[in-house]
Structure 1
């Protein structure tokens, strides 16, 4: 479809503007401005908001100017500031912006990978250490996420889920939520990133049924054969430099009647099928170019999938590898596949 020149220019201008506004959203989230605005029941002045957040009024006023111009914060008849009540739930769904400052800082590293003479990629262990917490934080309401992931699984009795593996567990927020949701199960979080595992262990708290282990998904403990009733790979498979080796290990450690839950961003494998999908495909391809693709190209002979692998190619990969897809549904930005062994 032909786009008129003015519309084309406007599209690019809006995208550029959105990047700068996202920086302001990050400020609002990190400094508690959004938390405060969503808790208030009446409009406030910039001074009152600044006082509530222990911030300088002049900077808060400038930030509010951006928010008002962007239709994120509203004004009443007295030019006081508020977020409409029906809009407040949106702020529970913008956790992806936690990655934004780190994403910007890593852009030069990604540009080096683009160059023919540059390195092929880099792993999560080479990224800023704050990335581990940012990736956990972007999940938002993790208890709600766990319910969505488990919904197609719990056709089995909960009592049969005695051993659960969260593969690629990062700092363990999903692992802990699984342990909380299924207190009768032994839940294991596995990640190859030592920083992530150390953070996960430090955050374990009262989750007595949760255990963490530093290990590669392509080489899990030999005594885990047919141990797990449920294995979760949340936002992991497309990042792996060795997905085939990993899924062979998943097959080995899963019980014959066990279930694997695999969630990855829902982007179509053909670029043409993503035309106009700025909110998911446009954004996640950008993230992938800096984070996911370099990770999936970080070792010799790596798969190089990234988010651009796409839902269709990922589904074909799994079925060709001997997996039966029992349920397929979209959860947020992700396509969630519930799989079992093909017998």
Structure 2
């Protein structure tokens, strides 16, 4: 069962043009309730309570669950009450015991169907709430610095670990024609906006003959990446703190493969980054980038299950962190496939294609540097 494809199918038919006023009011109230539930779900993820309850052989009391999780019973009991009325956790009122039906467990515990992991995004976005509000004012700041989002790198490492572990080698690499073969032979490859280096680390282990580089502007992320490479005893990967708009001059025409996963839209000057990527690619080299699967105009995104959270994530994080920098473009998460295709072509990339990821939530854009560039 592919939950994401089911969501796409269900939401594509959802339109609210003909709803009555009371139906609109009801939908707004449901949205408010869903927002509260999202916070509760995030607590369940971060405390490990979902992991504990989905692994139970039989229903347990709040005291027993709290003991298993090493948490305070009163807080666990209140959280359980919230999850019961949200119809996430079941309760036996006679015995005061709690459980999660096995049919729900895959969506609440680690694995490919785990959808509640995304709720960790909510508290991260809330860290910048007051700062973003201030940006709305005409006399307010232009944007919000990354430093206001203390949870950002932890969240991104968690999500990229899940995504890359599940899809990078079995799905993304095969989607780029000839990539596995050249990596097996031995080339130099570069990851732009590598974060904590998860993609580079996985590729370096799978393709020991190739040399991989990862660049990011975050000292914290690069320090973590280097530590992981040392722990894994990898000698074919290198991590650098570097501005992607000014990559080393010696890298011109150097890399046979460059990748950028879910990050170009965050950049202050994405056009300059794409230009630099084009410069450091070897003639005939391949650039692969992953971005959210949406259109460039909101009217074409109605019904897309990723559109609402995509625009809010953009508003609360991706756009303001870009606008914080001088001359930041504030591109936003939802720049969309039409804008992306044109941007790649404008920077001189050829043979541009876009292929949906297996879950259809993202698009993998593959392009080439022309041999005569």
- Range with greater deviation from structure 2 (173-182 or 25-34): 173-182
Contact 1:233 1:261 in 2 (8 A): yes
Gaps of 5+ in 2: 1-16
Deviation of the 1:327 alpha carbon: 4.3
| Change over 3 Å in CA distance of 1:302–1:128 after alignment to 2 | closer
Contact 1:297 1:304 in 2 (8 A): yes
| Change over 3 Å in CA distance of 1:151–1:81 after alignment to 2 | farther
| Change over 3 Å in CA distance of 1:43–1:318 after alignment to 2 | same
Contact 1:219 1:249 in 2 (8 A): yes
Gaps of 5+ in 1: none
Q: TM-score w.r.t. structure 2 length?
A: 0.84
Deviation of the 1:242 alpha carbon: 1.0
SS at match of 2:42: helix
Structure 2 residue 138 is the aligned partner of structure 1 residue 116: yes
For 2:43 and 2:22, the matched residues in 1 are separated by 32
Deviation of the 1:8 alpha carbon: 0.8
For 1:70 and 1:331, the matched residues in 2 are separated by 30
Structure 2 residue 357 is the aligned partner of structure 1 residue 336: no
- Structural RMSD (CA): 2.2
Match of 1:234 among 242, 245, 261: 261
Deviation of the 1:75 alpha carbon: 4.1
Structure 2 residue 55 is the aligned partner of structure 1 residue 29: no
Contact 2:193 2:214 in 1 (8 A): yes
Match of 1:317 among 332, 338, 343: 343
Structure 2 residue 149 is the aligned partner of structure 1 residue 149: no
Q: TM-score w.r.t. structure 1 length?
A: 0.91
Look up the match of 1:132: 153
For 1:25 and 1:143, the matched residues in 2 are separated by 23
For 2:356 and 2:166, the matched residues in 1 are separated by 15
| Change over 3 Å in CA distance of 1:322–1:331 after alignment to 2 | farther
Deviation of the 1:326 alpha carbon: 3.5
For 1:307 and 1:48, the matched residues in 2 are separated by 43
User: Higher relative CO (CA 8 A, sep ≥ 6), structure 1 or 2?
Assistant: 2
Look up the match of 2:120: 98
Deviation of the 1:152 alpha carbon: 1.0
For 1:178 and 1:71, the matched residues in 2 are separated by 41
Structure 2 residue 73 is the aligned partner of structure 1 residue 57: yes
Deviation of the 1:103 alpha carbon: 0.9
Structure 2 residue 330 is the aligned partner of structure 1 residue 304: yes
SS at match of 1:203: helix
Deviation of the 1:78 alpha carbon: 5.8
Match of 1:257 among 284, 288, 306: 284
Look up the match of 2:36: 20
| Change over 3 Å in CA distance of 1:54–1:258 after alignment to 2 | same
Deviation of the 1:310 alpha carbon: 1.9
Deviation of the 1:130 alpha carbon: 3.0
